[in-house]
Amino acid sequence: QVQLVESGGGLVQAGGSLQLSCVASGRASTIYGAGWFRQAPGKEREFAAAVSWYGSATYYADSVKGRFTISRDNTKNTLYLQMNSLKPEDTAVYYCALRKRDGIYSNKDAYDYWGQGTQVTVSS
């Protein structure tokens, strides 16, 4: 089993930046693809970004492209999401997710493990 713990969320003004981290423990060495999703109140969980095992391939939702950067450090079993130029509409609970095979996917059903989420609130 794999456990994921996110951190780095908080309250920030519009235009500001935050970096989220997600540390994997357990049988993390078997994990390949990774992604970040977010869920705003009353809305479905939506895809934000994904990265392949070696970090060579990334994919972003149009809503965050050019502002967010996903990366990973496999030596530390850690996934990151650097968020710049934040907007009020980025307010949501952010979840990291891992899948047992490589590849980048925007479909949440493609992921096998999920963290508990970290709240990001962007004030106008």
Q: Is the pLDDT of residue 1 over 90?
A: no
Rounded distance between C-alpha atoms, residue 31 and residue 103, angstroms: 11
Residue 86: phi, psi to the nearest 5? -65, 145
Q: What does the pLDDT look like over 89-100, one tens digit per residue?
A: 999 999 999 998
DSSP string of 18-79? EEEEEEEEESGGG---EEEEEE-TTS--EEEEEE-TTS--EEE-TTTTTTEEEEEETTTTEE
Helix (H, G, I), strand (E, B) or coil at 111: coil
Q: What does the pLDDT look like over 35-52, one tens digit per residue?
A: 999 999 999 999 999 999
Non-local (6+) Cβ contacts of 57 within 8 A are 51, 104
Q: Is the pLDDT of residue 28 over 70?
A: no
Q: What does the pLDDT look like over 60-79, one tens digit per residue?
A: 999 999 999 999 999 999 99
